[in-house]
Amino acid sequence: MFVSKMCKFRICSLLLLLLFVNFENVNSADCTEKSFKTGTVCVCDVNNCDEIPALDITMGQAALYTSSHTGARLHRDVIYATDTEPFGTLHLTIDSSKTYQTIQGFGSTFSDAAGANLKSLPDKLADTVLRQYFSDSGLNLQFGRVPIASNEFSSSVYSYNDVSEDYEMQNFNLTKEDFQWKIPYIKTAQKYNSNLKLFGVPWSAPGWLKSSKQMNGPGTLLGKAGDDHHKAYAQYIVRFLEEYKKSGISFWGLSTQNSPTTGNEKKIKVQSMYFTAETQRDFIKSDLGPALQNSDVGKDVKVLIMDDNRGNLPKWADTVLKDKAAAEFVAGIGVHSYQDSESDGHLDNTHKNHPNVFILGTEGSDGKNVEYGGWDRAEDYTADILDDLNNWVVGWTDRNLVLDSKGGPSWISDYTDAPIIAFPAMAQFYKQPMFYAIAHFSHFIKPGAVRIDHSLNVIELEVESSAFLNPDGSKVIIMLNKGSLVSTSHTVVVQDSADSRNHYQFTLPHRSITTLYIQTMQF
């Protein structure tokens, strides 16, 4: 822009205020839009797919990325810092001297359904999906969730050992699903992020180890802590880690059980197994913890407890972690997104009680069935992630990488939406607004970033926000304007308490998500 070439920063501050946003369109590989009654998607094929525009800014500049219900998808503008008198309806102040949790990153799930859909696409297009998710030029995902055997997004119910009373797990074997739908795509993802953190999650023990004698439906692990059944299940989990290691895949973490409370629901049909906080505590300290500790592959794996809705906290964490023998094996607490309307201190109190144990978002999704271009789901994702991050959560994980047009496959027809929807017959996939909602966080907040203090000058019920300091000193502010009550946009002024001379000003449109990325100033 000619202004930045013709004048020095201080001299032209007034002119830059009038031109505080550089409206030059710098989007690269723009979205190929397709509109539905429910909204707009971006279409990708073997030759074309939109990309996130590069930052391409210098000191004293900020990049503003905007996505909105009107179709903007990470549209990039450049904003210049100015020291003129700020004006705006919303004043947001950040204070990097007051920090909170360290962010570990964002992720998604290598379910059988995701692998089946990737397999259905041309190889080049499947590679594009994984590059868009895991490369640093894409979503920059840091976590990969891997189901241990089958779950609701499998084509059938299966375990790795259906031989009754095989307590030594001599008949343990991975299945075709692992070799066709999981391992190949995990390896491709690792090509784009060599530091990808994988964590395994069991939905159920093999049926012969359960009270119900079947994997799907309710039931508990037979016996009690320390007996043959519990030790066999611990060995089953360790064998999973060992067999994946033979394929060159190591795991960073391990959840003890997905949604342990649902295993007590009589009408539950999916694979599940019931643990209470007490029985999970005893299983960890007597069986799983020692089994991992005695395994070369498992000894450094981080164990996550609970992996269920936040309403179970802080009681669940207190029960497990106040037992020193169990706590020595536990690194983190897994939490799902399905009770995020409950903001009664569940996460905050858990952090206060156990400040040295991280809280990780291990499953999030929105909506039954697929809604093409549904902007409300992007808003829900954004609000969910903001709420988690503002309450000590260190990262967030989506439920599926890619699903088909029904929201599956699923052996139980438990269809849901996903950020990417595959259309193999057309050799295309659609990027839903949810994909861009995740990008507003994961592309800009780097691993090792810390959440920093921020405040708004007025209480604006329709606006949600959070702020972060990256390891390189850059600062990230994310804002959501739901605008569900009235069609309201806001002029936002961002002020850094460490730099009273400069501020950044931009428009937060009606029903939009914005990410402001500020390059560190040097004086």
List residues with catalytic annotation: 363
SS3 177: helix
Q: Which residue has the tokens 């991975």?
A: 174
Q: Which residue has the tokens 């359960």?
A: 210
Q: How far, in Å, CA of 381 to CA of 366, rounded?
A: 7
- Preceding omega of 447 cis (within 30 degrees of 0): no
Q: How far, in Å, CA of 152 to CA of 228, rounded?
A: 28
Q: Give me the amino acid identity at 84.
A: T
Give the list of residues 6+ apart from residue 356 with CB closer than 8 angstroms, or none.
none
**Cα 441 to chain centroid, rounded:** 9
Q: Give me the amino acid identity at 75.
A: H
> At 14, which helix (H) or strand (E)?
helix 13-18
Q: How far, in Å, CA of 397 to CA of 332, rounded?
A: 14
Q: How far, in Å, CA of 246 to CA of 363, rounded?
A: 27
Q: Write down how long the chain is.
A: 523
Residue 383: name the closest of 343, 350, 347 by CA.
343
SS3 215: coil
Tokens of 514: 């914005």
Phi-psi label, residue 30: left if phi above 0, alpha if psi -120 to 50, beta otherwise: beta
**Long-range CB contact pairs, 160-168, < 8 A, 24+:** 160/206, 160/236, 160/239, 160/240, 161/206, 161/236, 162/206, 162/207, 162/208, 163/208, 164/208, 165/208, 166/232, 167/228, 167/229, 167/231, 167/232, 167/235, 168/232, 168/235
Q: How far, in Å, CA of 460 to CA of 389, rounded?
A: 19
Tokens of 439: 């990008």
Q: How far, in Å, CA of 114 to CA of 112, rounded?
A: 5
What 3 state SS string does 334-376 have? EEECCCCCCCCCHHHHHHHHCCCCEEEEEEECCCECCCCCEHH
